[in-house]
Amino acid sequence: MNLKRRLSLTRAGIIESLQFRLSMLIIFVGNLLYLIVIYFLWKAIYASSGQEVVNGMTFSDTLIYLVLASAIFNFIEMYTVWEMGRAIQSGNMVLNLLKPMEYRKYLFWSFSGTFVTQFFFTFLPTFIIVAIVTNGAIQFGFNLLYFVISIVMAIVINYNIDFFVGTICLYTESIWGINIMKQVLVLLLSGATVPIAFFPETFKKIVYCLPFQSIYNAPLSLLLGKDMPVSEAMTTLGIQLLWCVVMMILSRLFWKSSLKQITVNGG
């Protein structure tokens, strides 16, 4: 019963996002341009370095990493902060609070339809093309299983970070600034723009203590790791699980305590 209720939100989301076919085409062109730029950029970087392997990554490793990072971004970015910020500013938040489902869950499940369409329309095609083009750089074994588990946790961590940041909007009523700060910090510190392997040593150590690397770096290193020992994979997944739990508790507590002092613009 409970699951059925949630899945009906998923279904509505799928139908809604299929409405915008032209936008999908434009997004596709945009992503294609991005891929072209990073391909030539990193090709030039590797050509100038004169080495096959830089910071433990070959050119094709780096490329797969960055291409899949952007594919993951497209499908896990939910613009939660925008959604919450707008609901707070317009006063519609009141309607959301009246719903017979906790707002944090409602928002997540109503976005889940987009996960499904984006997964099949952007991530999967990208993944297949990358696997074919690089011809064997992606192993097909247990790493795929690790990757799937890892990506689910990445979605949860990302959502809870977003929800936490969105809750801050209750106090500041500023959306743009909060959202942009979150976005650039997450993209940089999660290794989505430049692989974490390229970071200087001390910087790397700090980044590994933060939750952000669990969003992009963890699933991608699990996928690309050649013959990764089981213990290492388990450590990565364990750290992710830890951050999942921590972020879920934090975002829940913060939301609960913030609700007590919420002021809603008369909507």
Partner 1 sequence: MKKRGLGFYLRIYRKILAQDLKSKMSYRADFIISTIGMICTNISGFVGFWVMFRNFPSINGWSYYEMLFLYGFSLVSITPVQCLFDNNWALRGQVYSGDFIKYCFRPINMFFYYQSEVFDIKGLGQLAFGIGTIAYSWNKIGLEFSFIACFKLVVFLITASLVMIALQNAAAATCFWIQNSYYVLELTFRFKDYSKYPITIFNKAFRFIFTFIFPIAFIAYYPSLVILRPDAIPVLTWISPFIGIIFFYISYRIWMYGASKYTGTGS
Q: Which residues of this chain interact with partner 1, rule CB under 8 A? A: 20, 22-23, 26-27, 29-30, 33-34, 36-37, 40-41, 43-45, 47-49, 54-55, 172-174, 176-181, 184-185, 187-188, 193-194, 198-200, 203
Q: How far is CA 81 from CA 119, 164, 221, in A?
A: 21, 9, 27
Name the DSSP letter for residue 201: H
10 Å Cβ neighbour count for 30? 11
Shortest Cβ distance from residue 228 to partner 1 (Å)? 24
DSSP code string of 25-68: HHHHHHHHHHHHHHHHHHHHHHHHHT-SEETTEEHHHHHHHHHH
Q: Which is nearer to partner 1, 120 or 203 (CB)?
A: 203
Q: Which is nearer to partner 1, 79 or 106 (CB)?
A: 79
Shortest Cβ distance from residue 180 to partner 1 (Å)? 4
Q: Is 209 helix (H, G, I), strand (E, B) or coil?
A: coil
Q: Which amino acid is at 251?
A: S
Shortest Cβ distance from residue 87 to partner 1 (Å)? 16
Q: Which is nearer to partner 1, 97 or 181 (CB)?
A: 181
Q: How far is CA 52 from CA 38, 49, 57, 184, 267, in A?
A: 18, 8, 8, 30, 60
174 φψ region: left (φ > 0), alpha (ψ -120 to 50), beta (else): beta
Q: Which is nearer to partner 1, 20 or 142 (CB)?
A: 20
Shortest Cβ distance from residue 23 to partner 1 (Å)? 5
Q: Which is nearer to partner 1, 8 or 51 (CB)?
A: 51
- Which residue, 107, 110, 128, is CA-closest to 119? 128
Shortest Cβ distance from residue 19 to partner 1 (Å)? 9
Q: Which amino acid is at 111?
A: F
Shortest Cβ distance from residue 165 to partner 1 (Å)? 12
Residue with tokens 């990764």: 228
Shortest Cβ distance from residue 43 to partner 1 (Å)? 7
Shortest Cβ distance from residue 107 to partner 1 (Å)? 20
φ, ψ for residue 224, nearest 5 deg:
-90, -15
Burial of 106 (0-12, 13-18, 19+ CB in 10 A): middle
Q: Which is nearer to partner 1, 60 or 179 (CB)?
A: 179
Q: Which is nearer to partner 1, 42 or 108 (CB)?
A: 42
Q: Which is nearer to partner 1, 3 or 22 (CB)?
A: 22
Q: Give, for 170, the enclosing helix (H) or strand (E).
A: helix 142-172
